[in-house]
Structure 1
Amino acid sequence: MQVSMASTQGVGAANEDTVHVSPTGVVVLDGLSAPKDLPMGCVHGTPWFVRQLGTTLINLIGDEEVSLREALRAAIAAVNDLHRSSCDLDQEAVPASTVVMVRERGDELDYLVLSDNVLVLDLGADGIRTVVDKRVEEVAADEMRAALQGPTGTPEHAARVSQLVTIQRGLRNKPGGYWVAATDPAAADEAITGSVELARVQQAALLTDGASRLVDNFGVLTWHDLLSLLCAEGPAALIARTREAELADPVGERWPRFKRSDDATAAYVKIGQPASLASGAS
Structure 2
Amino acid sequence: MQVSVASTQGVGTANEDTVHVSPTGVVVLDGLSAPKDLPMGCIHGTPWYVRQLGTRLINLIGDDAVSLREALRSAISEVNDLHRGSCALDQEAVPASTVVMIRERGDILDYLVLSDNVLVLDLGDEGIRTITDKRVEEVASEEMEAALQGPTGTPEHAARVSALVTVQRRLRNRPGGYWVAATNPAAADEAITGSVDLAQVQQAALLTDGASRLVDSFGVLTWAQLLDVLRSEGPSALIARTREAELADPVGERWPRFKRSDDATAAYMTADQPTQTPPDRQ
Is 1:278 matched up with 2:275?
yes
1:57 deviates by 0.2
| Residue identity in the other structure for 2:194 | G
Match of 1:223 in 2: 223
How far, CA to CA, are the matches of 2:53 and 2:254 in structure 1?
35
How far, CA to CA, are the matches of 2:205 and 2:247 in structure 1?
24
How far, CA to CA, are the matches of 1:280 and 1:250 in structure 2?
54
1:278 deviates by 1.7
Is 1:5 matched up with 2:2?
no
1:13 deviates by 0.7
| Residue identity in the other structure for 2:40 | M
How far, CA to CA, are the matches of 1:136 and 1:212 in structure 2?
16
Match of 1:83 in 2: 83
| Residue identity in the other structure for 2:234 | G
| Residue identity in the other structure for 2:83 | H
- Runs (5+) with no aligned partner, structure 2: none
1:280 deviates by 3.7
User: What is the number of residues matched between the two proteins?
Assistant: 278
Describe the superposition over 1:13-41 as per-residue Cα deviations: whole angstroms up to 9, x where unpaired: 10000000000000000000000000000
TM-score, reference length from structure 1: 0.98
| Residue identity in the other structure for 1:20 | H
How far, CA to CA, are the matches of 1:24 and 1:143 in structure 2?
41
How far, CA to CA, are the matches of 1:37 and 1:266 in structure 2?
30
1:279 deviates by 2.5
How far, CA to CA, are the matches of 1:279 and 1:220 in structure 2?
39
Match of 1:147 in 2: 147
Match of 2:203 in 1: 203
Percent of aligned pairs with the same amino acid: 84
What's the C-alpha RMSD, in Å, of the aligned pairs? 0.7
- Secondary structure of the 2:171 match is coil
Match of 2:130 in 1: 130
| Residue identity in the other structure for 1:48 | W
1:272 deviates by 2.1
1:108 deviates by 0.4
TM-score, reference length from structure 2: 0.98
Match of 1:178 in 2: 178
- Secondary structure of the 1:170 match is helix
1:85 deviates by 1.4
How far, CA to CA, are the matches of 2:85 and 2:15 in structure 1?
26
- Secondary structure of the 1:278 match is coil
Match of 2:214 in 1: 214
How far, CA to CA, are the matches of 1:218 and 1:148 in structure 2?
13
Describe the superposition over 1:138-161 as per-residue Cα deviations: whole angstroms up to 9, x where unpaired: 000010000000000000000000
Which contiguous aligned blocks of 4+ residues in structure 1 show a shift greater than 6 angstroms? none
